[in-house]
Amino acid sequence: MQTSQRKKLESLKQEISRRVEKAKADFTSLHSADWSEQVTERENEEVLEALINEGEAELAQINQALERMEAGSYGACVRCGEPINPERLQALPYTSLCIRCASEHD
Ligand SMILES: [Zn+2]
Q: Which segments of 1-106 are extended strands (E)? A: none
Share of the chain above pLDDT 70, in %: 88
Give the model's confidence band at 1: pLDDT under 50 very low, under 70 low, under 90 confident, else very high. low
For ligand 1, the distance from its centroid to the CA atom of residue 57, given in whole angstroms, is: 20
Q: Bin 82: left if φ > 0, else alpha if -120 < ψ < 50, else beta.
A: beta
For ligand 1, the distance from its centroid to the CA atom of residue 101, given in whole angstroms, is: 4
pLDDT in tens, 4-51: 899 999 999 999 999 999 999 988 887 776 655 665 667 788 899 999
| DSSP symbols for 52-98 | HHHHHHHHHHHHHHHHHHHHT-TTB-TTT-PBPPHHHHHH-TT--S-
For ligand 1, the distance from its centroid to the CA atom of residue 76, given in whole angstroms, is: 8
User: What residues pack around ion ligand 1 (CB closer than 5 A)?
Assistant: 77, 79-80, 98, 101
Q: Can you give the pTM of this predicted structure?
A: 0.82
Amino acid identity for residue 102 in this structure:
A
Q: Which residues pair with 32 in a beta bridge?
A: none
59, 17 Cβ separation under 8 angstroms:
yes
Q: Which residues pair with 83 in a beta bridge?
A: 76
For ligand 1, the distance from its centroid to the CA atom of residue 87, given in whole angstroms, is: 15
CATH number of 2-105: 1.20.120.910
Q: Can you give the pLDDT at residue 35?
A: 55
Residue 74 has pLDDT above 60, yes or no: yes
Residue 94 has pLDDT above 90, yes or no: yes
For ligand 1, the distance from its centroid to the CA atom of residue 85, given in whole angstroms, is: 10
